[in-house]
Protein backbone atom coordinates (compact mmCIF):
# COMPACT_ATOMS: atom_id res chain seq x y z
CA UNK A 1 0.00 0.00 0.00
CA UNK A 2 1.48 3.38 -1.00
CA UNK A 3 1.71 6.37 1.37
CA UNK A 4 -1.47 8.04 0.02
CA UNK A 5 -3.48 4.90 0.62
CA UNK A 6 -2.06 4.57 4.13
CA UNK A 7 -2.96 8.18 4.86
CA UNK A 8 -6.53 7.77 3.54
CA UNK A 9 -7.01 4.53 5.47
CA UNK A 10 -5.73 6.09 8.67
CA UNK A 11 -8.02 9.12 8.30
CA UNK A 12 -11.01 6.83 7.72
CA UNK A 13 -10.08 4.72 10.74
CA UNK A 14 -9.68 7.74 13.02
CA UNK A 15 -12.97 9.25 11.93
CA UNK A 16 -14.92 6.02 12.47
CA UNK A 17 -13.20 5.30 15.76
CA UNK A 18 -13.95 8.77 17.10
CA UNK A 19 -17.63 7.99 17.28
CA UNK A 20 -17.11 4.69 19.14
CA UNK A 21 -14.43 5.47 21.71
CA UNK A 22 -15.72 7.47 24.64
CA UNK A 23 -13.76 7.69 27.87
CA UNK A 24 -15.33 6.16 30.90
CA UNK A 25 -14.25 5.49 34.40
CA UNK A 26 -17.36 5.01 36.48
CA UNK A 27 -20.62 3.07 36.53
CA UNK A 28 -23.86 4.37 37.98
CA UNK A 29 -26.51 1.92 39.06
CA UNK A 30 -30.06 1.89 40.30
CA UNK A 31 -30.81 2.02 44.04
CA UNK A 32 -30.88 -1.12 46.16
CA UNK A 33 -34.64 -0.73 46.41
CA UNK A 34 -36.89 1.25 44.10
CA UNK A 35 -36.53 4.90 45.07
CA UNK A 36 -39.82 6.67 45.77
CA UNK A 37 -38.73 9.78 43.92
CA UNK A 38 -41.17 12.60 44.41
CA UNK A 39 -41.70 15.09 41.59
CA UNK A 40 -39.40 18.07 41.95
CA UNK A 41 -40.34 21.58 40.87
CA UNK A 42 -38.78 22.90 37.71
CA UNK A 43 -36.47 25.92 37.95
CA UNK A 44 -38.54 29.13 38.06
CA UNK A 45 -39.52 30.62 34.75
CA UNK A 46 -36.99 28.53 32.83
CA UNK A 47 -37.86 26.72 29.61
CA UNK A 48 -35.22 24.46 28.02
CA UNK A 49 -34.10 25.52 24.54
CA UNK A 50 -35.77 23.63 21.70
CA UNK A 51 -32.78 21.40 20.94
CA UNK A 52 -32.12 17.69 21.33
CA UNK A 53 -29.60 16.33 23.86
CA UNK A 54 -27.12 15.65 21.06
CA UNK A 55 -27.07 19.36 20.23
CA UNK A 56 -26.20 20.69 23.69
CA UNK A 57 -23.25 23.06 23.56
CA UNK A 58 -21.51 25.35 26.02
CA UNK A 59 -23.65 28.22 24.73
CA UNK A 60 -27.02 26.67 25.56
CA UNK A 61 -26.14 24.43 28.53
CA UNK A 62 -26.84 27.12 31.13
CA UNK A 63 -29.75 29.52 31.41
CA UNK A 64 -29.70 32.59 33.62
CA UNK A 65 -32.55 32.18 36.10
CA UNK A 66 -35.06 34.99 36.59
CA UNK A 67 -35.25 34.15 40.31
CA UNK A 68 -33.00 32.23 42.72
CA UNK A 69 -34.05 28.88 44.19
CA UNK A 70 -35.07 28.41 47.82
CA UNK A 71 -31.54 28.19 49.27
CA UNK A 72 -30.61 25.97 52.22
CA UNK A 73 -27.72 23.67 53.14
CA UNK A 74 -27.57 20.41 55.11
CA UNK A 75 -23.79 20.12 55.68
CA UNK A 76 -21.32 21.92 58.01
CA UNK A 77 -20.10 25.33 56.86
CA UNK A 78 -16.45 24.42 57.40
CA UNK A 79 -16.51 21.68 54.77
CA UNK A 80 -17.85 24.25 52.30
CA UNK A 81 -15.14 26.75 53.22
CA UNK A 82 -12.52 24.03 52.71
CA UNK A 83 -13.87 23.17 49.26
CA UNK A 84 -14.01 26.85 48.23
CA UNK A 85 -10.41 27.35 49.39
CA UNK A 86 -9.25 24.48 47.19
CA UNK A 87 -10.87 26.03 44.10
CA UNK A 88 -9.45 29.47 44.93
CA UNK A 89 -5.96 27.99 45.29
CA UNK A 90 -6.24 26.33 41.89
CA UNK A 91 -7.61 29.45 40.19
CA UNK A 92 -4.75 31.50 41.66
CA UNK A 93 -2.28 29.40 39.68
CA UNK A 94 -4.13 29.88 36.38
CA UNK A 95 -3.49 32.44 33.65
CA UNK A 96 -5.33 35.66 34.64
CA UNK A 97 -6.47 36.00 31.03
CA UNK A 98 -8.50 32.78 31.30
CA UNK A 99 -12.15 33.11 30.28
CA UNK A 100 -14.88 30.73 31.47
CA UNK A 101 -18.21 30.16 29.77
CA UNK A 102 -21.48 30.45 31.69
CA UNK A 103 -23.87 29.46 28.93
CA UNK A 104 -23.74 32.20 26.27
CA UNK A 105 -21.71 34.51 28.55
CA UNK A 106 -17.92 34.74 28.52
CA UNK A 107 -16.79 35.43 32.09
CA UNK A 108 -13.24 36.55 32.96
CA UNK A 109 -11.42 34.51 35.59
CA UNK A 110 -11.21 37.58 37.84
CA UNK A 111 -14.99 37.68 38.22
CA UNK A 112 -15.10 33.99 39.13
CA UNK A 113 -12.38 34.48 41.73
CA UNK A 114 -14.08 37.58 43.13
CA UNK A 115 -17.34 35.63 43.42
CA UNK A 116 -15.74 32.77 45.32
CA UNK A 117 -13.80 35.15 47.58
CA UNK A 118 -16.93 37.16 48.38
CA UNK A 119 -18.94 33.98 49.00
CA UNK A 120 -16.27 32.67 51.38
CA UNK A 121 -15.96 35.96 53.28
CA UNK A 122 -19.71 36.27 53.86
CA UNK A 123 -19.99 32.59 54.78
CA UNK A 124 -17.23 32.95 57.39
CA UNK A 125 -19.12 35.85 58.99
CA UNK A 126 -22.76 34.76 58.66
CA UNK A 127 -22.52 30.99 58.52
CA UNK A 128 -25.16 28.98 56.71
CA UNK A 129 -27.91 31.25 58.03
CA UNK A 130 -31.05 32.76 56.54
CA UNK A 131 -29.21 36.08 56.41
CA UNK A 132 -26.47 34.49 54.32
CA UNK A 133 -28.99 32.90 51.97
CA UNK A 134 -30.78 36.25 51.52
CA UNK A 135 -27.47 37.93 50.71
CA UNK A 136 -26.80 35.39 47.97
CA UNK A 137 -30.31 35.69 46.54
CA UNK A 138 -29.93 39.47 46.27
CA UNK A 139 -26.33 39.69 45.08
CA UNK A 140 -25.70 36.63 42.91
CA UNK A 141 -26.83 35.49 39.50
CA UNK A 142 -28.02 31.90 39.31
CA UNK A 143 -27.49 29.87 36.14
CA UNK A 144 -29.64 26.78 35.86
CA UNK A 145 -28.75 23.67 33.94
CA UNK A 146 -30.87 23.77 30.80
CA UNK A 147 -32.37 20.39 31.73
CA UNK A 148 -35.65 20.62 33.68
CA UNK A 149 -34.28 17.87 35.95
CA UNK A 150 -30.78 16.55 36.52
CA UNK A 151 -30.02 12.94 37.47
CA UNK A 152 -27.66 12.83 40.44
CA UNK A 153 -25.59 9.75 41.16
CA UNK A 154 -22.84 9.24 43.71
CA UNK A 155 -19.25 8.05 43.65
CA UNK A 156 -16.86 7.25 46.46
CA UNK A 157 -13.23 6.38 47.21
CA UNK A 158 -12.87 2.62 47.79
CA UNK A 159 -10.39 1.01 50.19
CA UNK A 160 -8.40 -1.90 48.80
CA UNK A 161 -5.86 -4.30 50.33
CA UNK A 162 -2.49 -4.51 48.64
CA UNK A 163 1.22 -5.19 48.70
CA UNK A 164 4.29 -3.72 47.03
CA UNK A 165 5.27 -7.17 45.79
CA UNK A 166 3.43 -9.99 44.01
CA UNK A 167 2.44 -13.06 46.01
CA UNK A 168 -0.26 -15.74 46.03
CA UNK A 169 -2.21 -13.51 48.40
CA UNK A 170 -1.76 -10.41 46.21
CA UNK A 171 -1.69 -11.66 42.60
CA UNK A 172 -3.46 -8.85 40.73
CA UNK A 173 -1.52 -5.81 39.49
CA UNK A 174 -2.68 -2.24 39.40
CA UNK A 175 -1.13 -0.82 36.24
CA UNK A 176 0.38 2.57 35.60
CA UNK A 177 0.05 4.37 32.28
CA UNK A 178 1.78 2.48 29.42
CA UNK A 179 4.29 4.50 27.39
CA UNK A 180 2.86 3.19 24.11
CA UNK A 181 -0.66 4.54 24.79
CA UNK A 182 -1.24 7.21 22.13
CA UNK A 183 -3.89 9.95 22.26
CA UNK A 184 -5.22 11.56 19.08
CA UNK A 185 -7.06 14.89 19.09
CA UNK A 186 -9.11 14.72 15.91
CA UNK A 187 -9.94 18.41 15.97
CA UNK A 188 -6.27 19.18 15.28
CA UNK A 189 -6.52 17.55 11.86
CA UNK A 190 -7.31 19.90 9.00
CA UNK A 191 -10.43 18.05 7.93
CA UNK A 192 -12.02 18.42 11.39
CA UNK A 193 -11.10 22.02 12.29
CA UNK A 194 -14.74 23.11 12.19
CA UNK A 195 -15.83 20.46 14.71
CA UNK A 196 -15.84 21.05 18.47
CA UNK A 197 -17.62 17.89 19.58
CA UNK A 198 -15.01 15.26 18.82
CA UNK A 199 -13.45 13.34 21.71
CA UNK A 200 -9.85 12.25 21.89
CA UNK A 201 -9.26 8.71 20.74
CA UNK A 202 -6.67 6.32 22.11
CA UNK A 203 -4.63 3.54 20.60
CA UNK A 204 -1.14 2.17 20.03
CA UNK A 205 1.10 2.10 16.99
CA UNK A 206 1.68 -1.28 15.42
CA UNK A 207 4.16 -0.95 12.59
CA UNK A 208 3.05 2.38 11.16
CA UNK A 209 -0.68 1.89 11.83
CA UNK A 210 -2.67 3.18 14.80
CA UNK A 211 -4.71 0.32 16.25
CA UNK A 212 -7.03 0.15 19.29
CA UNK A 213 -5.30 -0.32 22.61
CA UNK A 214 -5.54 -3.58 24.54
CA UNK A 215 -8.95 -4.33 26.04
CA UNK A 216 -9.74 -5.34 29.61
CA UNK A 217 -9.89 -8.98 28.53
CA UNK A 218 -6.45 -8.76 26.91
CA UNK A 219 -4.92 -6.99 29.91
CA UNK A 220 -6.51 -8.89 32.80
CA UNK A 221 -7.02 -12.33 31.30
CA UNK A 222 -4.34 -12.58 28.58
CA UNK A 223 -1.54 -10.70 30.37
CA UNK A 224 -1.03 -8.21 27.53
CA UNK A 225 0.91 -5.83 29.80
CA UNK A 226 2.69 -8.35 32.01
CA UNK A 227 6.46 -8.04 32.36
CA UNK A 228 6.68 -4.42 31.24
CA UNK A 229 7.32 -2.93 34.67
CA UNK A 230 3.97 -1.12 34.78
CA UNK A 231 2.78 -2.68 38.04
CA UNK A 232 2.57 0.00 40.74
CA UNK A 233 0.97 -2.17 43.43
CA UNK A 234 -0.49 -5.66 43.84
CA UNK A 235 -4.07 -6.22 45.04
CA UNK A 236 -5.84 -9.22 46.57
CA UNK A 237 -9.05 -8.95 44.52
CA UNK A 238 -9.59 -8.47 40.80
CA UNK A 239 -13.20 -7.50 41.49
CA UNK A 240 -12.04 -4.72 43.82
CA UNK A 241 -9.73 -3.47 41.05
CA UNK A 242 -12.65 -3.45 38.63
CA UNK A 243 -14.73 -1.25 40.93
CA UNK A 244 -11.70 0.96 41.59
CA UNK A 245 -11.64 1.53 37.82
CA UNK A 246 -15.24 2.62 38.01
CA UNK A 247 -14.65 5.11 40.83
CA UNK A 248 -11.39 6.48 39.41
CA UNK A 249 -9.41 6.78 42.66
CA UNK A 250 -8.96 4.92 45.90
CA UNK A 251 -6.89 4.06 48.94
CA UNK A 252 -4.70 0.94 49.14
CA UNK A 253 -3.90 -0.33 52.63
CA UNK A 254 -0.60 -2.21 52.63
CA UNK A 255 0.42 -5.20 54.73
CA UNK A 256 2.40 -3.04 57.14
CA UNK A 257 -0.64 -0.86 57.86
CA UNK A 258 0.51 2.11 55.76
CA UNK A 259 -1.64 3.51 52.98
CA UNK A 260 -1.07 4.87 49.51
CA UNK A 261 -3.43 6.93 47.38
CA UNK A 262 -3.99 5.96 43.76
CA UNK A 263 -5.80 7.99 41.14
CA UNK A 264 -6.75 8.10 37.50
CA UNK A 265 -3.84 8.53 35.08
CA UNK A 266 -5.35 7.56 31.71
CA UNK A 267 -7.76 5.23 29.94
CA UNK A 268 -7.36 2.76 27.09
CA UNK A 269 -9.88 4.48 24.81
CA UNK A 270 -12.42 1.66 24.61
CA UNK A 271 -16.08 2.42 25.26
CA UNK A 272 -17.51 1.69 28.67
CA UNK A 273 -19.96 -1.20 28.97
CA UNK A 274 -22.15 -1.48 32.04
CA UNK A 275 -21.60 -4.48 34.31
CA UNK A 276 -25.17 -4.11 35.52
CA UNK A 277 -26.56 -4.32 31.99
CA UNK A 278 -24.44 -7.40 31.28
CA UNK A 279 -25.71 -9.17 34.39
CA UNK A 280 -29.31 -8.28 33.49
CA UNK A 281 -28.98 -9.34 29.85
CA UNK A 282 -27.51 -12.69 30.88
CA UNK A 283 -30.24 -13.04 33.53
CA UNK A 284 -27.62 -13.52 36.21
CA UNK A 285 -29.07 -11.00 38.62
CA UNK A 286 -32.50 -9.63 39.43
CA UNK A 287 -33.08 -5.92 38.89
CA UNK A 288 -33.89 -5.52 42.58
CA UNK A 289 -30.24 -6.42 43.36
CA UNK A 290 -28.82 -4.04 40.78
CA UNK A 291 -26.81 -1.87 43.14
CA UNK A 292 -23.08 -1.64 43.66
CA UNK A 293 -23.42 -3.80 46.77
CA UNK A 294 -25.66 -6.28 44.97
CA UNK A 295 -23.26 -6.73 42.06
CA UNK A 296 -20.31 -7.19 44.40
CA UNK A 297 -22.22 -9.83 46.32
CA UNK A 298 -23.13 -11.68 43.13
CA UNK A 299 -19.51 -11.81 41.93
CA UNK A 300 -18.32 -12.88 45.39
CA UNK A 301 -20.83 -15.75 45.40
CA UNK A 302 -20.24 -16.72 41.75
CA UNK A 303 -16.48 -16.54 41.03
CA UNK A 304 -16.95 -18.58 37.87
CA UNK A 305 -18.83 -15.62 36.35
CA UNK A 306 -16.07 -13.10 37.02
CA UNK A 307 -14.00 -13.41 33.77
CA UNK A 308 -16.94 -12.97 31.39
CA UNK A 309 -18.61 -10.30 33.52
CA UNK A 310 -15.51 -8.11 33.84
CA UNK A 311 -14.34 -8.65 30.26
CA UNK A 312 -17.73 -7.46 29.00
CA UNK A 313 -16.48 -3.94 29.78
CA UNK A 314 -13.46 -3.34 27.48
CA UNK A 315 -12.69 0.05 29.04
CA UNK A 316 -9.58 0.01 31.25
CA UNK A 317 -8.15 2.64 33.61
CA UNK A 318 -4.46 3.21 34.35
CA UNK A 319 -3.40 4.68 37.68
CA UNK A 320 -0.76 6.77 39.36
CA UNK A 321 0.28 7.20 42.98
CA UNK A 322 -0.97 10.49 44.44
CA UNK A 323 0.18 12.44 47.47
CA UNK A 324 -3.36 12.91 48.72
CA UNK A 325 -6.73 11.21 48.61
CA UNK A 326 -9.23 11.62 45.79
CA UNK A 327 -8.17 14.32 43.36
CA UNK A 328 -10.62 15.65 40.80
CA UNK A 329 -10.04 16.55 37.17
CA UNK A 330 -9.83 20.21 38.20
CA UNK A 331 -6.65 19.28 40.07
CA UNK A 332 -7.92 19.77 43.61
CA UNK A 333 -8.52 17.31 46.40
CA UNK A 334 -12.19 16.36 46.44
CA UNK A 335 -14.21 17.25 49.53
CA UNK A 336 -16.71 14.57 50.64
CA UNK A 337 -20.32 15.69 50.12
CA UNK A 338 -19.10 19.05 48.70
CA UNK A 339 -17.54 18.12 45.33
CA UNK A 340 -19.45 17.15 42.21
CA UNK A 341 -18.50 15.92 38.76
CA UNK A 342 -20.20 17.29 35.64
CA UNK A 343 -19.64 17.49 31.89
CA UNK A 344 -16.61 19.76 31.31
CA UNK A 345 -17.70 20.42 27.73
CA UNK A 346 -20.76 22.25 29.08
CA UNK A 347 -20.01 23.52 32.60
CA UNK A 348 -16.82 25.29 33.78
CA UNK A 349 -14.68 23.47 36.35
CA UNK A 350 -13.89 24.80 39.80
CA UNK A 351 -16.96 26.99 40.20
CA UNK A 352 -19.61 27.24 42.89
CA UNK A 353 -22.92 25.42 42.49
CA UNK A 354 -26.08 24.67 44.44
CA UNK A 355 -27.95 21.40 44.14
CA UNK A 356 -31.34 20.16 45.27
CA UNK A 357 -31.93 16.45 45.29
CA UNK A 358 -32.87 13.53 47.55
CA UNK A 359 -30.58 11.41 49.73
CA UNK A 360 -31.26 7.91 51.07
CA UNK A 361 -32.51 7.20 54.57
CA UNK A 362 -31.26 3.90 56.05
CA UNK A 363 -32.63 1.65 58.76
CA UNK A 364 -30.54 -0.12 61.41
CA UNK A 365 -29.68 -2.87 58.91
CA UNK A 366 -28.44 -0.30 56.38
CA UNK A 367 -31.37 -0.82 54.06
CA UNK A 368 -32.83 2.13 52.16
CA UNK A 369 -36.23 2.89 53.67
CA UNK A 370 -36.91 6.28 52.11
CA UNK A 371 -35.56 9.41 50.53
CA UNK A 372 -35.12 12.85 52.05
CA UNK A 373 -34.99 16.09 50.09
CA UNK A 374 -31.94 18.28 50.66
CA UNK A 375 -30.25 21.40 49.32
CA UNK A 376 -26.49 21.98 49.37
CA UNK A 377 -23.70 24.17 48.04
CA UNK A 378 -21.02 22.26 46.16
CA UNK A 379 -17.95 22.89 44.00
CA UNK A 380 -17.76 21.58 40.45
CA UNK A 381 -14.31 20.00 40.72
CA UNK A 382 -14.42 16.74 38.78
CA UNK A 383 -15.58 14.98 35.63
CA UNK A 384 -16.50 11.43 34.64
CA UNK A 385 -16.91 9.56 31.39
CA UNK A 386 -20.53 8.66 32.19
CA UNK A 387 -21.31 12.21 33.27
CA UNK A 388 -22.36 13.62 29.92
CA UNK A 389 -24.93 16.24 29.12
CA UNK A 390 -26.81 18.95 30.98
CA UNK A 391 -28.92 16.40 32.85
CA UNK A 392 -26.15 14.51 34.73
CA UNK A 393 -24.11 15.22 37.84
CA UNK A 394 -22.20 13.05 40.29
CA UNK A 395 -21.79 13.73 44.01
CA UNK A 396 -18.54 12.66 45.69
CA UNK A 397 -19.34 10.91 48.98
CA UNK A 398 -15.82 10.31 50.30
CA UNK A 399 -14.70 6.92 51.64
CA UNK A 400 -16.04 4.51 54.21
CA UNK A 401 -19.11 2.32 54.59
CA UNK A 402 -21.70 5.10 54.51
CA UNK A 403 -20.06 6.69 51.48
CA UNK A 404 -20.22 3.40 49.60
CA UNK A 405 -23.83 2.81 50.59
CA UNK A 406 -24.95 6.24 49.39
CA UNK A 407 -22.90 6.13 46.20
CA UNK A 408 -24.06 2.61 45.41
CA UNK A 409 -27.74 3.44 45.69
CA UNK A 410 -28.14 7.06 44.64
CA UNK A 411 -29.80 7.83 41.32
CA UNK A 412 -32.20 10.68 42.00
CA UNK A 413 -33.69 13.59 40.09
CA UNK A 414 -32.92 17.12 41.16
CA UNK A 415 -31.85 20.60 40.10
CA UNK A 416 -28.45 22.16 39.46
CA UNK A 417 -27.52 25.84 39.59
CA UNK A 418 -24.19 27.63 39.21
CA UNK A 419 -23.56 30.93 41.04
CA UNK A 420 -21.76 34.10 40.01
CA UNK A 421 -21.71 37.42 41.82
CA UNK A 422 -23.63 40.16 40.00
CA UNK A 423 -21.68 42.87 38.27
CA UNK A 424 -22.26 46.15 40.05
CA UNK A 425 -23.41 48.95 37.81
CA UNK A 426 -20.96 51.88 37.70
CA UNK A 427 -22.11 54.99 39.61
CA UNK A 428 -23.85 57.64 37.55
CA UNK A 429 -21.72 60.61 36.61
Confidence of residue 196 (pLDDT cuts 50, 70, 90): low
Q: What is the pTM of this model?
A: 0.73
According to the 3-state scheme, what is the secondary structure of the chain?
CCHHHHHHHHHHHHHHHHCCCCCCCCCCCCCCCCCCCCCCCCCCCCCCCCCCHHHCCCCCCEEECCCCCCCCCCCCHHHHHHHHHHHHHHHHCCCCCCEEEECCEEEEHHHHHHHHHHHHHHHHHHCCCHHHHHHHHHHEEEEEECCCCEEEEEECCCEEEEECCCCCCCCEEEEECCCCCEEEEHHHCHHHCCCCCCCEEEEEEECCEEECCCCHHHHHHCCCCCCCCCEEEEECCHHHHHHHHHHCEEEEEECCCCEEEEEEEEECCCCCCCHHHHHHHCCCCCHHHCCHHHHHHHHHHCHHHHHHHHHCCCCCEEEEEECCCCECCCCCECCCCCEEECCCCCCCCCCEEEEEEEEEEECCCCCEEEEEEEEEEEEEEECCCCCCCCCEEEEECCCCHHHHHHHHHCEEEEEEEEEEECCCCCCCC
Given a cut of 80, is residue 386 above it in pLDDT?
no
Given a cut of 80, is residue 187 above it in pLDDT?
no
Given a cut of 80, is residue 190 above it in pLDDT?
no
Confidence of residue 178 (pLDDT cuts 50, 70, 90): very high
Predicted pLDDT of residue 365: 81
Please indicate whether residue 22 or residue 236 has the higher confidence score (pLDDT).
236
Predicted pLDDT of residue 22: 35
Please indicate whether residue 365 or residue 253 has the higher confidence score (pLDDT).
253
Mean pLDDT of 349-372: 91
Confidence of residue 368 (pLDDT cuts 50, 70, 90): confident
Mean pLDDT (the chain) is 85
Q: Show the domains of the chain with their CATH numbers.
A: 3-24+158-322 (2.40.240.50), 53-155+332-421 (2.40.40.10)
Predicted pLDDT of residue 49: 39
Predicted pLDDT of residue 194: 66
Please indicate whether residue 314 or residue 31 has the higher confidence score (pLDDT).
314
Mean pLDDT of 385-407: 89
Q: What percent of the chain has pLDDT over 70?
A: 83
Confidence of residue 185 (pLDDT cuts 50, 70, 90): confident
Predicted pLDDT of residue 112: 97
Mean pLDDT of 185-203: 74
Given a cut of 90, is residue 89 above it in pLDDT?
yes
Tens-place pLDDT, residues 208-222: 999 999 999 999 999
Tens-place pLDDT, residues 24-49: 333 333 333 333 333 333 333 333 33
Amino acid sequence: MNQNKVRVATIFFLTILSFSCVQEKRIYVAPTVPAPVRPLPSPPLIVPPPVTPAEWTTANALIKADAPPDLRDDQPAQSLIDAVDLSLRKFAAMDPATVLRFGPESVPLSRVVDSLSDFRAKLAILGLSDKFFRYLSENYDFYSSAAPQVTFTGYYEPLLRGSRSESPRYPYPLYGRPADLVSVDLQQFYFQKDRNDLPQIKGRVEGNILVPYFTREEIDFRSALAGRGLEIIWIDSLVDIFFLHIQGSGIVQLEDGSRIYVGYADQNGHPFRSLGNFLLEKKLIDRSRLSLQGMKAFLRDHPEAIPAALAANPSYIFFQVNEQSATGTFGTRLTPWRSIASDPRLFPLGILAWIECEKPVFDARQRVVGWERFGRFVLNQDTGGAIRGVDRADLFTGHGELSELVAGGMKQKGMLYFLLKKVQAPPEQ
